Amino acid sequence: MKQWLFDRIVVEKFNNVFGFIVLTGLCVLSAFAIAFMGIKGGVIVLAGIIGVPVALYSIANNRFGFLMIMGFSTFMSFISRLTSANIPFGVGIDLLFTLMFSWILLEQIFSSDPRKGKDFSLKNPVSIVLFAWTGYLLLQAFNPAGTPAGWLFGLRNILRVVIVFIVAQRVFNSLKAVHVFATFFISLGLFVALYGIYQEFVGLPGYDHKWATATDERINLLFIQGKWRKWSFLSDPAIFGLFMSFCSIVAFMLALGPFKWGKRIYFAVAGAFMLLAMFFSGTRTAYVMVPVAVILYVLLNITKVKTLVFACVSVVLFLIVYFGPFYSKPIVRFRSAFNPTEDASMNLRDYNRARIQPYIHAHPIGGGLTTSGVYGERFSPSHPLAGFPPDSGFMKTLLEVGWIGLLFELIMYSVILAVGITNYYNSRDPIIKAYYTAYIVSFFALTIALYAKENIEQFPLNLILYGIFVLMYKMKQFDIYLVQKTNQSK
C-alpha cells in the first residue's frame, strides 16, 4: 500500500484515476467552502489541497509526517493571525496523527514482516508509566465531582499523548532519525527566534499589533511596563519563552558534544539567538529553566574538566547579567524571576493556592478533567473550580485529578528521568551520551517550569516532549559499542 501511494502521488504526480478523483473532489469542496465561509473557507480549502497529498504521504512515511506536523504546528497561530480566521488546525493535526496511528496498527496486525514489531516496546519503564498515567486519566470518567463535557474534552489530549508516543516509536528507528529530529527542531527554534528578534527591534507587523490589541485582557497580558512582550510565530509569549529556553538548552548541550566543528558552531549560534529571543518573551519561568539545566548538567558530568570550565563561565555570565549595570526592561524582568517574593503575580498565585487548599484536601482524586481555568468555564461552567486560575501545571493536576493524580504524574516524570540517566551512564557511544545529556537536562528544566506554568503541552513543544519520552529508552539501542559488546557476549 505504501508503494502504491508513493507511485500515485510522487512518481505519477496524481496523473492517474486516483488523482482525478482526489482533485475533482477538492475542486467541488472549494466552491462550496468559499461560497458559504468566505476567507476562512478559502484557507481551509487551501489547507485541504496541500494537506490531502501530504497526509497520504505522511501515512507512507511516518518520519516525514511527524516532522511536518511539528513544523506546521509552529506556524498555525501565525497563520490564524495573518488571515484573521479562527481555523481549528489542531483538529487536523489530531486527525493526521490518528490516521498514521491507525495505519501503524493495521501493519502490526496484518504484516508478516518481523522487523515491524521491533520498532515498538510496550514493556519498557517509560511505556508502562505513561500507560498507567493514561489509564488513571481515563478512569476520571467515573469521578463523581467531574463533568461529562469536561472529561470528553480532556479525552482528546489524553489520546493525543498515546497516539503521538506510539507514532514516535516508529519514527525513531535509527540513529539517523535522532540526528534529523534534533537538527530539525533546533533549526525550527532558530527560525522562531529570528522572527521574535525582528518583532523586538523592527516592531510588530500590523497583523500582530491588531491581534495583540484585540481585547483589554490581551493588552494587559502582553504590554508590561510600557513594552510589548514578544511571541514570534507562536500562540503567546509564555509558550514562546518556554520553547526558546528549551531549544537553547538542547542546542548548547549539543554544542558541547563530540560533533564536527561546523555543527557545533551552528548549535552554539542557534542557542545564542534563541537565548536572546527568550529574554524578549518576558517569561520569567523560561529564565529560571536555563540555570536549572546548567546545574543538572554539571552534576551529570562533574568529573570532567570541561564541565567545570563550562560551569565557571556560566556562573560568571549569570552574575554579569544579574548584577551588571544593565537596566533594560527585559533584564529587569529577568532579575525579578529570581526574586519571587517581590513579584506581585507570584504573591497572588500563592494566595490562590492557599485559598483552594480545603477543596484539594476534600477531593483526593480531584474535581475532574477540564474543570478549572478558562476551559472549566467553557465546559464545566457550574463547577466550583470553573474559572479558578491554576497558573501551574502541577496545580492544574492537583485540582483536576487530585493528589493521587499528582503522585502518578511525579512518578512518571521521575521514571522517565531515571531511565534517561541510567542509559546515559550505560552508553558508550559519545554521540548517544551527548543526546542523552541534552534531553535529560532540558526535560528536567521543563518539569521545574511546571511549578509556575501549565502550557508546556502546547504545540510544538508537546510533540518534541513526546519524542523525547521515546528517545529516553530507545537511544541505547543505537549505541554501536554497546550492541557490539552484547553480540560478542552471546
| The pLDDT value given to residue 343 | 62
**Does some domain include residue 88?**
yes
- What is residue 147's DSSP assignment? -
Mean pLDDT of the chain: 87
**Does some domain include residue 290?**
no
Q: What is the spatial distance between Cα 398 and Cα 226, in angstroms, rounded to a whole number?
A: 35
3-state secondary structure 60-110: HCHHHHHHHHHHHHHHHHHHHHHHCCCCCHHHHHHHHHHHHHHHHHHHHHH
Q: How many domains does the chain have?
A: 1
| The pLDDT value given to residue 416 | 97
**Does some domain include residue 73?**
yes
Per-residue pLDDT reduced to its tens digit, 28-44:
777 776 666 665 666 66
Range among 8-12, 28-32, 158-162 with highest mean pLDDT value: 158-162
Domain that holds residue 113: 1-119
**Does some domain include residue 349?**
no
**Does some domain include residue 86?**
yes
pLDDT-above-90 percentage for the chain:
57
**Does some domain include residue 105?**
yes
Per-residue pLDDT reduced to its tens digit, 283-336:
888 999 999 999 999 999 887 877 888 888 888 888 887 777 777 777 777 777
**Does some domain include residue 383?**
no
Higher-pLDDT residue of 38, 107? 107
Pick the closest to residue 162 from 200, 140, 132, 201 (CA basis).
Answer: 132
| The pLDDT value given to residue 413 | 96
Q: Is the pLDDT of residue 106 over 70?
A: yes
Grid cell, residue 84, equals: 484573521
Inter-residue contact 242 to 451 (CB < 8 Å): no
Q: Is the pLDDT of residue 161 over 80?
A: yes
170: number of Cβ within 10 Å: 22
**Does some domain include residue 426?**
no
Q: Is the pLDDT of residue 109 over 70?
A: yes
425: number of Cβ within 10 Å: 9
Cβ-proximal residues to 393 (8 Å cutoff; 6+ apart), any chain: 449, 450, 451, 453, 454, 455, 456, 457
Inter-residue contact 379 to 153 (CB < 8 Å): yes
